[in-house]
Amino acid sequence: MTAPLIDPDRIEADYLIETAFDPMQAAEIMAGEQSSGTFISVPGETPELKERSAARVERLTVYDSVAQPTLPGAGRPNAGDGLWQRAKVTLSWPIENLGASMPNLIATIAGNLFELKPFSGLRLVDLRLPRAFAQKYAGPQFGMEGTRRLAGVHGRPLIGTIIKPSVGLTVEDTAAMVDQLCAGGIDFIKDDELQADGPACPFDARVKAVMAVVNRHADRTGKKPMVAFNLTGDMDDMRRHHDLVLAEGGTCIMASLTAVGMAGMIELRRHSQLPIHAHRCGWGALTREPMLGWSYPAWSKLWRLAGADHMHVNGLENKFSEADDSVIASARSLSEPLFEEAPMRAVPVFSSGQTVRQAAGTLQAVGSPDLIVTAGGGVVAHPDGIAAGVTAMCEAWDAAAAGVDLPTYAQDHPALAAALSVY
Amino acid sequence: MTAPLIDPDRIEADYLIETAFDPMQAAEIMAGEQSSGTFISVPGETPELKERSAARVERLTVYDSVAQPTLPGAGRPNAGDGLWQRAKVTLSWPIENLGASMPNLIATIAGNLFELKPFSGLRLVDLRLPRAFAQKYAGPQFGMEGTRRLAGVHGRPLIGTIIKPSVGLTVEDTAAMVDQLCAGGIDFIKDDELQADGPACPFDARVKAVMAVVNRHADRTGKKPMVAFNLTGDMDDMRRHHDLVLAEGGTCIMASLTAVGMAGMIELRRHSQLPIHAHRCGWGALTREPMLGWSYPAWSKLWRLAGADHMHVNGLENKFSEADDSVIASARSLSEPLFEEAPMRAVPVFSSGQTVRQAAGTLQAVGSPDLIVTAGGGVVAHPDGIAAGVTAMCEAWDAAAAGVDLPTYAQDHPALAAALSVY
């Protein structure tokens, strides 16, 4: 009986709420506002129309209460205990209200909700979709299997890095750095999300110079490192840049989700013949307040459906404000099936302050080597240079796979030993 | 000397920050992370590269401090007074880093910033752009002047309404309601943002049925009410739906900004021959925590540049959690010029719980009748029916323009008098 849970007949969304009102009453206000209701009852909202179109409160679980409201501007009832009650509520909608359209899904499940006055907190934490969405949207085109095939990496994570400095390198500098990384045996290279198509390092020239280097190494070794070129931009530029990467023998494109947006990502997926490496820069604005916005499992499901092959999840012991348990939950959520017959799993990408030190913990947390890890300074700032940085990362993941601790493994692996001395 | 302030040579963004570190040190971390730096100094970040590409801290104004961090996960220095300092900081970037690309602008000014560990609060409050952006993006195609021309309304606000119930009406129900609204003399009608292209009320059939009604009234009166049809959706659907609205004689399209996203809105603007009515549903997730995300003047500038003609700003005495001063600041910001030679002003759209009661206050706050007001229940729930609801709204705005208070004006305006008895 798992099928109905995965593929419900109605759109289902789970929210964490905080309210001074009776939580069921508050949940019904949410449901009304996001379907047939308005603030004042209107003549056309007949019982038949409500039955057909109203959102329903499916489940409500009351949690703890707090003395102070988390967010400003919330209203409170005239009577009551003065506390702000937290609860989890599940709403559902008939798909007939909107059709299987992802932009309209966003307007429905995450539209005019976050500002509703009865709530001092409102966060979308998960969602489940009818299979009509799987018929409309194809999901990841490559996923882990296609990524492994293109990159020629099997049975272990893809060891990657980010071209650093983030921005400011010329086309020639960039190609020279890629040359060193390829010589060092890297599996995966990505542009920083700040590297775009500026006059100081134009996209077309960068792709041509970098792919000349990559193709030369691929001819030499028989294995082509995957380079995720950041083509974030206007729609026509993204299509043209995709075509250039493909023509030059490239095997991956990168786009920033919050910068491109949903309609653009859907269109990019339809056009693309390459894996889409999805960057989540800007995500913090949607998630960092725990009682507002989105949690990653809900948010990432939409982008998986839209076709993101690789999804950034931050990293263990990262340099941002996110705790490890949140990173792990995000990474694991990417392998939960979206639909029974179309799981649409995405590849978790670990990054941010990643060095040799997080390999074992990451492997244990994810429970599988089906992931990409990217280290910026963790590779290029290695004391013996970039090639040693790549080697050390590979060694750290070999050690993790073998279940050997780093100091022991480093005894006969000098690149790893040198890395341990600085990271 | 106002020109340089409006059109700076570099991209400039203002942030409200909260940090336990020295605010200047924290600001420099922001600047480094969003340009040439990484967490560990990397060999390629030479002084020349920094000079060319690094973001700069232009200005810093220290505000008050607070005893508790607003957001979780922030780090603090080993020494210090234990307080969390608030400040306003302005960063700048050379446009050569990214080029005049709006999606890449978003990744730069609002990318991996909100999660930075030194910050317990980080909010983008304003921005100023070099005129290269005005050469790349055309801004609103119609604005207030084009909207007035199409709607045939001059010297006063467009009085509008939202088709309610939000969702659940059939095509025939919708056309019948539009018939009543047109008969009542309405200037502007919009779909609710939940009304999409579902099988219960398909877009194409709805547009054809509604425009048949609207065209009939226009033939009768010589004035065509503007109907904003919600075409939020995938890119190909949006283009096709735009073409249908245009072919049927429609004069406006509507799209939800957070649902469509930036690349999609840019593409829609390039395709569109009609004013774009931009809905902001979902905006609350980005703004409701005052120390996180975006403030409206910064956010709306991007959408104005992308071509939004009408921008929602909520409304006075609204039913959401937003205070009136925030609504007024949002509305006024839409008329601040984006560039000296291309002001790209957008039309503020007031909505949410709007009735006859907010007319005078809104007119006073905006200082001009160049706006659209939409009332849902405030029109259709009028005790004497929809036509009386429209009449009452028009009368309330006539009263505001004349500087007469509502009870006085209602003495010889029975529709307004009836409205005052229920709203």
**pLDDT single digits (tens) B306-354:** 999 999 999 999 989 999 999 999 999 999 999 999 999 999 999 988 9
> Does the residue A152 lie in any domain?
yes
Domain end marker among A78, A109, A136 = A136
Q: How many angstroms separate the CA atoms of A97 and A31, rounded?
A: 13
Question: How, if at all, do strands B226-230 and B188-190 pair?
Answer: parallel
B residues 51-90 lying closer than 8 A (beta carbon) to A: 52-54, 71-75
B265 touches chain A (CB under 8 A): yes
> Does the residue B2 lie in any domain?
no
pLDDT over 90 for what percent of chain B? Answer: 87
Q: What is the largest distance, in Å, between two alpha-carbon atoms of chain B? A: 80
Q: Assess whether pLDDT exceeds 70 at residue B1.
A: no
> Taking the CB of residue B293, how many other CB atoms lie within 10 A of it?
27
Q: 3-class DSSP state for residue A224? A: coil
> Does the residue B184 lie in any domain?
yes
Angle at A408 between CA A405 and CA A411, to 5 degrees: 145
> Does the residue B1 lie in any domain?
no
Half-sphere exposure of B114 (CA within 13 A, CB side): 28
Higher pLDDT residue, B188 or A381?
Answer: B188
Q: A66: which residues sit within 8 A by CB, 6+ positions away?
A: A18, A83, A84, A86
CB distance A97–B376 less than 8 Å? no
Q: What is the CATH number of the domain that holds B303?
A: 3.20.20.110
Q: How many angstroms separate the CA atoms of B50 and A194, rounded?
A: 15
Residues B157 and B291 in one domain: yes
> Does the residue A198 lie in any domain?
yes
CA–CA min distance B340, chain A (Å): 24
Residues B58 and B166 in one domain: no
β-sheet bridge partners, residue A4: none
A380 touches chain B (CB under 8 A): yes
Residues B303 and B163 in one domain: yes
CB distance A73–B164 less than 8 Å? no
Residues B119 and B162 in one domain: no
> Taking the CB of residue A330, how many other CB atoms lie within 10 A of it?
23
First to last CA, chain B: 48
First to last CA, chain A: 48
Give the CA dihedral A266, A328, B294, B256, nearest 10 degrees: 30
Q: 3-class DSSP state for residue B289? A: coil
Residue count (chain A): 423
Residues B85 and B198 in one domain: no
> Does the residue A3 lie in any domain?
no
Q: How many angstroms separate the CA atoms of B5 and B21, rounded?
A: 30
CB distance B285–A114 less than 8 Å? yes
Angle at A33 between CA B381 and CA B207, to 5 degrees: 70
Minimum CA–CA partner of B106 in chain A:
A259
Cis peptide upstream of residue A165 (ω within 30 degrees of 0): yes
What's the pLDDT band for B2 if we cut at 50, 70, 90?
very low
pLDDT in tens, B26-71: 999 999 999 987 555 666 778 888 888 999 999 999 999 999 999 9
Q: How many angstroms separate the CA atoms of B40 and A127, rounded?
A: 38
Q: Contact, B227 vs B203, CB < 8 A?
A: no
Q: What is the CATH number of the domain that holds B23?
A: 3.30.70.150
CA–CA min distance A149, chain B (Å): 30
Q: How many angstroms separate the CA atoms of A379 and A357, rounded?
A: 12
Render each residue's pLDDT in chain A as its tens digit; 423 residues: 334 567 889 999 999 999 999 999 999 999 999 998 755 566 677 888 888 899 999 999 999 999 999 999 999 998 878 899 999 999 999 999 999 999 999 999 999 999 999 999 999 999 999 999 999 999 999 999 999 999 999 989 999 999 988 899 999 999 999 999 999 899 999 999 999 999 999 999 999 999 999 999 999 999 999 999 999 999 999 999 999 999 999 999 999 999 999 999 999 999 999 999 999 999 999 999 999 999 999 999 999 999 999 999 999 999 899 999 999 999 999 999 999 999 999 999 999 889 999 999 999 999 999 999 999 888 888 999 888 998 999 899 999 999 999 999 999 999 999 999 998
CB distance B107–A177 less than 8 Å? no
Residues B190 and B92 in one domain: no
> Which residue in B46, B288, B374 has the most chain A C-beta atoms within 10 A of its own C-beta, making it the best mutation to test that interface?
B288
CB distance B166–A37 less than 8 Å? yes
For residue A350, give the DSSP letter: E
Provide the domain limits for residue A130. 10-136
Residues B201 and B350 in one domain: yes
B residues 123-162 lying closer than 8 A (beta carbon) to A: none
Residues A157 and A46 in one domain: no
CB distance A73–B321 less than 8 Å? yes
Helices A262-271, A235-247: crossing angle, 10 deg rounding? 30
β-sheet bridge partners, residue B279: B256
Residues A175 and A254 in one domain: yes
For residue A111, give the DSSP letter: S
Residues A192 and A279 in one domain: yes
Q: How many angstroms separate the CA atoms of A166 and A78, rounded?
A: 54
CB distance A116–B53 less than 8 Å? no
Query: How many domains, in total, are found in chain A?
Result: 2
Domain end marker among B90, B113, B136 = B136
Which amino acid belongs to residue A100? A
For residue A157, give the DSSP letter: P
CB distance A99–B197 less than 8 Å? yes
Minimum CA–CA partner of A233 in chain B:
B103
β-sheet bridge partners, residue A372: A158, A349
CA nearest to A101, candidates B399, B381, B232: B232
Residues A119 and A150 in one domain: no
> Does the residue A377 lie in any domain?
yes
Q: Contact, A279 vs A229, CB < 8 A?
A: no
> Does the residue A201 lie in any domain?
yes
Say how far residue A24 (Cα) sits from the centre of its chain: 32
Residues of B in contact with A283 (CB under 8 A): 114-115
Q: How many angstroms separate the CA atoms of B76 and B293, rounded?
A: 21
Cis peptide upstream of residue B165 (ω within 30 degrees of 0): yes
pLDDT in tens, B273-309: 999 999 999 999 999 999 999 999 999 999 999 999 9
Domain end marker among B78, B103, B136 = B136
Backbone angles phi, psi at B185, to 5 degrees: 90, 20
Q: What is the pTM of this model?
A: 0.96
Residues A415 and A268 in one domain: yes
